Amino acid sequence: MTEDMFAIAGFFTTAILLGLGIPLIRIWGRRKEREAVLPPGEAERDARLARIEHAVEAMAVEVERISEGQRFVTKLLAGRAEETGVLPRQAGGER
């Protein structure tokens, strides 16, 4: 083969590879873009889950406040009973 034939074969090989390669790369890129995008309901589910998490955290804070109040009232009642010398009634009817 002569040098001219190598140049011609190289040109056509390059043209064929580019002609087939570019569309294949575009198809592959579009497929990757579609996979990266969240499904239509996914964003709504994420927002809903975030709202649920926020509500659970708010309820946990309120329950902690209630338990702190209960401990405070229990401490006050126990202190009052010690000051007056009156003991709370026993369960079961003993006097």
Asked whether residue 31 falls in the same domain as residue 51, the answer is no
Same domain for 65 and 46, yes or no, is yes
16 found inside a domain: yes
- Domain limits for position 55: 40-83
* CA–CA separation, 24 and 77 (whole Å): 80
Of 42 and 85, which is predicted with more confidence? 42
pLDDT range class, residue 92, cuts 50, 70, 90: low
Q: Taking the model in full, what pTM does it have?
A: 0.44
**Is residue 26 located within the same domain as residue 45?**
no
**pLDDT tens across 14-68, in order?**
888 888 888 888 998 888 887 766 667 788 888 999 999 999 999 999 999 999 9
Tell me if 71 is assigned to some domain.
yes
Predicted local distance difference test score (pLDDT) of residue 73: 93
* Lowest mean pLDDT, pick from 8-12, 66-70, 86-90: 86-90
Contact between 88 and 81 under an 8 Å Cβ cutoff? The reply is yes
Q: What is the count of structural domains for the chain?
A: 2
CA-based nearest residue to 74, from 95, 88, 62: 88
93 domain-assigned: no
Residue 59 within a domain: yes
- Can you spell out the DSSP letters for 38-88? PPTTHHHHHHHHHHHHHHHHHHHHHHHHHHHHHHHHHHHHHHHHHHHTPPP
19 with 1, same domain: the answer is: yes
